[in-house]
Amino acid sequence: MIRVPVDPHFQALLAQEDTDGDRRITVRDGGPRSYALEGYTVQGTYALANLLQELALAQEAGQTWLELDPQLLEEPPTRRISRAIRERCWQGLTRRLDLNSLETVLHDPKLAGPPRLYLPADDPRSHAYYAECGAEVVRLPRQITPEFVLSINQKPGLLGLAVAEEPLPYVVPGGRFNEMYGWDSYFIGLGLLHDGLFDLARDMLTHQLYQIRHYGQVLNANRSYYLTRSQPPFLTRFLKAILDHGPMPLDWVQQVLRTAMHEYEHVWVGGPRLTPTGLSRYLGQGIGMPPETEPGHYDSVLRPHAERVGLPLPEFERAYLLRQLDCPELDAYFVHDRTVRESGHDTSYRLEGRAANLCTVDLNSLLYAYEVDLAELLERYGEQAGFPKVEVWRGRAARRRQQIFDLCWDEQAGQFFDYDFLQRDRTHYQSATGLWPLWAGLATPQQAERVVAGSTLEKGGLAASSQASRGRLGPTRPPRQWDYPYGWAPHQMMAWEGLTRYNLGADAWAERWLRMMTRNAVDFNGLIPEKYDVVEASHEVFAEYGNVGADFEYITREGFGWTNASYQIGLDLLSAEQRAALDQLAGQ
């Protein structure tokens, strides 16, 4: 143990080793990679970055001196990364809509405007709690229509979540996403459960029940401009994960089951999301251009229409947002665009311009899982009056499975593809979502083997699509972040679960992803970002929104929600030998 004066070493270490001035120590810096620390020599990028992190934490805590075990600077990276996620990142991502933190949480980095909180009409507890909060509080109408949501797009705000005695906590993805997201929450919940944060995971599910009850669906996220769209449904699988980690009161479980059945009936298989095929589709139901995207995102889409009517692009965009222009072609485009966002895969050439026409493999695999899960859970916890019985759910699952085989399975290609119900044909666009039937357990063993053999597995893990399906890029066809060569944590985690189910070597796939994550964390100051280029096994991703979580100073305090979870869960799939090999990356 050595006693270190914090500020002098913090400043001296940065001056010597952070040669590019980004307040991190990485392989890109040109320092000597050797630093004298109170009689102890710290060598190598990894150890130096760890020293910077320890000094930053001590400085943040107001410490003048740091009692430091030098061995901590050489901590095996798998242990250090996992410990950082467990002890620091989950806390850094946790939010609560209480009166003390309301102003901070209400801030929306995606849009300008004063802090504003929207509350459901039928939740008196929330209205009482926020009565004297100091922010603008708006009561939503009992019936929320696309027209109403359009009317408040210029007055964005956060949507209230569940309040018990106090508002319940929740976990955000990170970075610019400072609200609770739909499908992110399931994967984050798996990470929380893995790391012993059972109550926080349960609260996340409780918030989703609240959203269904008061907003009609699990929302894309709890911001006002997301009120007209959901995200991939994982409610029953989230419940099962919680029950796998501990018992819950019977009345709470039955409440979740009733809510899940209501969501299934009213969101996914009722109304416009059900197609004539019997399979379901995503369908974002807002009006016009989504307001939450970054400036310039739609320039290439809007420019031809602006030129046709003779308006400068900014003026045309403003007029279209305010619905001062009649433009049916753009309206049709944005139906698909909002649907892409509901799918969670925003954006991908798999879905662009046709998302609302597709019975996607991913959604229908999730709904098959709902049907199977509900049959199993209702058998275990009791059927609910007014809702379908166990055998009905089993029958629905069997029918959906056969429909997926008939419409989405391509025997010649040995892959599952989305089905365009207007064109009456499969899309033949190869995506990582083609492995979701394995996750759901609906594929036959023979289908599973063929899907895996022809998968989009790359050096750093599963790519979101194949290069051939994505096609050639160019000035008018820019990269999309849910396509080749990019890889995402939820795709990896679902693939691992599917491979495990069919005994097809999940550890080898997990090792690729974790090797990439570990290598990037070792070389780049502990970095844990939103996504990766799995072909180059790199965090350097420049498509669309960049890479959330890659920009920080001194130490990552959040990582990124589902990427954190993938590391924790992936480590459990590795053998001791595979994990030891990852730890050797610190010395390379």
Catalytic, 265? Answer no
Distance CA 206, CA 315 (A): 43
Distance CA 527, CA 545 (A): 17
Catalytic, 530? Answer yes
Distance CA 60, CA 104 (A): 19
Beta strands in 383-529 (DSSP E): 409-410, 415-416, 419-420, 425-426, 457-458, 461-462, 486-488
Which 8-state DSSP code applies to residue 181? B
Compute φ and ψ for 554, nearest 5 degrees. 70, -50
The first and second tokens of residue 252, run together, are 């709470």
- What are the distances in angstroms from CA 575 to CA 252, 285, 292, 582? 37, 46, 43, 11
Work out whether the CA dihedral 145, 148, 154, 160 comes out positive or negative: negative
Catalytic hit among 17, 342, 530, 533 = 530
**Residue 357 — left, alpha, or beta (φ > 0 → left; ψ -120 to 50 → alpha)?**
alpha
Residue 116 contacts residue 156 (beta carbons within 8 Å): yes
One-letter identity of residue 167: P
Nearest to 433 by CA among 371, 507, 538, 344: 344
- What are the distances in angstroms from CA 444 to CA 321, 400, 440, 450, 473? 48, 14, 11, 10, 35
The first and second tokens of residue 474, run together, are 């160019």
Residue 248 contacts residue 255 (beta carbons within 8 Å): no
In our burial notation (b when 16+ CB lie closer than 10 A, e otherwise), range 407-442 reads: bbbeeeebbbbbbbbeeeebbebbbbbbbbbbbbbb
What pairs with residue 465 in β-bridges? 431
Residue 490 contacts residue 183 (beta carbons within 8 Å): yes
Distance CA 210, CA 185 (A): 14
Catalytic hit among 179, 346, 418, 497 = 346
**Residue 360 — left, alpha, or beta (φ > 0 → left; ψ -120 to 50 → alpha)?**
beta
Give, to the nearest 10 degrees, the angle between helix 235-245 and helix 250-263. Answer: 160
- What are the distances in angstroms from CA 119 to CA 108, 162, 230? 17, 10, 18
Q: Which positions are catalytic?
A: 346, 530
